[in-house]
Amino acid sequence: MNCRIFYHDKCFDGACSASLFTRFHRECIRTADTFSYHGLVHRAGTLFDERDFVDGENAIVDFKYSASPQVTWWFDHHQSAFLTPEDQKDFEAGQADGSQRMRKFFNPNYVSCTSLIADTGRIDFGFDTAPLNELIKWADIVDGARYKSAKAAVEMAEPAMKLTMAIESSADNNLVPRLIPLLTEMSLQHVLDQGFVQELLGPLMDRHWAALELIKQRATVDHGVITFDITDQPTEGYNKFIPYYLHPEATYNVGLSKSSFRVKVSVGTNPWTKLPASKLANLAVICERYGGGGHARVGAISFSPDREDDARKAVGEIVAELRRA
């Protein structure tokens, strides 16, 4: 039987979650002969295609809930985990009657979905997570923006940071499915040392420094809010800590970018801000008003490529709200 794992694509935690779930399933559940992987991205419109689900088991990790009866496992930690109130009611009904309690897990208190899967597997199924401590640690650091400084986040000395760059920025759709099986079988340095990863690093680093220069030229700061628009320079991703590296005094960042399939509004809080948490805006709540979501300190909204004007309007409204805050 095949187990297909749907994961948050272009995301280090998404890849780590898929890898850790694979090992957990192989060692503790033992009902699948093969595993396959399918990346999911936040986009305008429908997020799931029922035709992608297989006849065996279907797992969704680090991504929004699907009420499809074909989904057998679900793990997520995002505050905005449910697309609709009906999805949330479906999840809660399954938890209440016990039919999904041991297969579908949601806890927004976790820093990463990787650590949610690890703890659930260890506590509820006896999964040995000790060999995976490095992976779990770095999933928390990357997804929780727990870097020592903006310099550490942007200059990327650690293997996990370079892997994050490759996962977020590479245009190769086969890269993450190739990485997923390796992430729980070898150290992050050994994964980074693989030939197919090394050949990507040079061009990606060049693109990274070019993105830094572009954002440096475009970014402005007003009342603690960094804003920039790089929609005329389509990109599949950029290091989201660049704005704070350039403007460490700012509290928030609202960026507008464009890729092959969406116009994206990225909204973030400076992880090194001196403001107390009680004074900070909940960015997930703000993004949800426009059909997006995320976490309290970082969120995003996806618009279809033909709705660039709507995205720019949303940016203006969000920036004005954050400046007032």
Note whether residue 135 is domain-resident.
yes
- Output the pLDDT for position 171: 85
CATH number at residue 289: 3.10.310.30
Structural domain span for residue 162: 2-192
Best-predicted range by mean pLDDT among 39-43, 101-105, 124-128? 124-128
Give the pLDDT confidence of 193-206 residue by residue, as tens digits. 999 999 999 999 99
Per-residue pLDDT averaged across 317-324, rounded?
Answer: 97
Note whether residue 199 is domain-resident.
no
∠ Cα 313 314 317 (to 5°): 90
Is 147 found in the same domain as 53? yes
pTM exceeding the 0.95 threshold for the entire prediction: no
* 70 neighbors 48 (Cβ within 8 angstroms): no
Query: pLDDT category, 1, cuts 50, 70, 90?
Result: confident
Alpha helices in the chain (DSSP H): 12-24, 85-97, 113-125, 133-143, 150-155, 159-169, 175-183, 188-192, 195-218, 242-246, 283-288, 308-324
Mean pLDDT, all residues of the chain: 95
Note whether residue 203 is domain-resident.
no
- Closest by CA to 64, choosing from 19, 21, 14, 101, is 14
Per-residue pLDDT averaged across 84-106, rounded?
Answer: 91
Last residue of a domain, one of 146, 175, 192: 192
DSSP 211-256: HHHHHHHH-EEETTEEEEE-TTS--S---TTHHHHH-TT-SEEEEE
Is 11 found in the same domain as 154? yes
Contacts of 231 (CB under 8 A, 6+ apart): 256, 257, 258, 263, 308
Residue 303 DSSP label: E
- Closest by CA to 18, choosing from 111, 91, 112, is 112
Distance CA 166, CA 159 (A): 11
pLDDT of 103 higher than 90: yes
Is 10 found in the same domain as 154? yes
Is 131 found in the same domain as 24? yes
Is 145 found in the same domain as 51? yes
Structure tokens at 25: 């399933």
* 13 neighbors 62 (Cβ within 8 angstroms): yes
Is 175 found in the same domain as 91? yes
Taken in order 49, 54, 57, 61, the sign of the CA dihedral is negative
Give the pLDDT confidence of 133-167 residue by residue, as tens digits. 999 999 999 999 999 999 999 999 999 999 999 99
pLDDT of 70 higher than 80: yes
Is 160 found in the same domain as 119? yes
How many residues comprise the chain?
A: 325
Give the pLDDT confidence of 214-243 residue by residue, as tens digits. 999 999 999 999 999 999 998 878 999 999
Note whether residue 22 is domain-resident.
yes
Is 241 found in the same domain as 147? no
Is 255 found in the same domain as 128? no
Note whether residue 86 is domain-resident.
yes
Note whether residue 211 is domain-resident.
no
Number of C-beta neighbours around residue 305 at 10 A: 16
- Output the pLDDT for position 118: 98
Last residue of a domain, one of 173, 192, 211: 192
Distance CA 309, CA 317 (A): 13
Is 151 found in the same domain as 22? yes
Number of C-beta neighbours around residue 9 at 10 A: 21
Note whether residue 43 is domain-resident.
yes
CATH number at residue 179: 3.90.1640
Give the pLDDT confidence of 34-56 residue by residue, as tens digits. 999 999 988 766 789 989 999 99
* 216 neighbors 246 (Cβ within 8 angstroms): yes
Note whether residue 51 is domain-resident.
yes
Is 177 found in the same domain as 41? yes
Give the pLDDT confidence of 255-298 residue by residue, as tens digits. 999 988 899 999 999 999 999 999 999 999 999 999 999 999 99
Number of domains observed in the structure of the chain: 2
> What is the share, in percent, of the chain residues with pLDDT greater than 90?
90
Is 178 found in the same domain as 231? no
Give counts: helices (H), strands (E), the chain. 12, 11
State how beta strands 104-106 and 34-40 pair. Answer: unpaired
Q: Which amino acid is at 176?
A: V
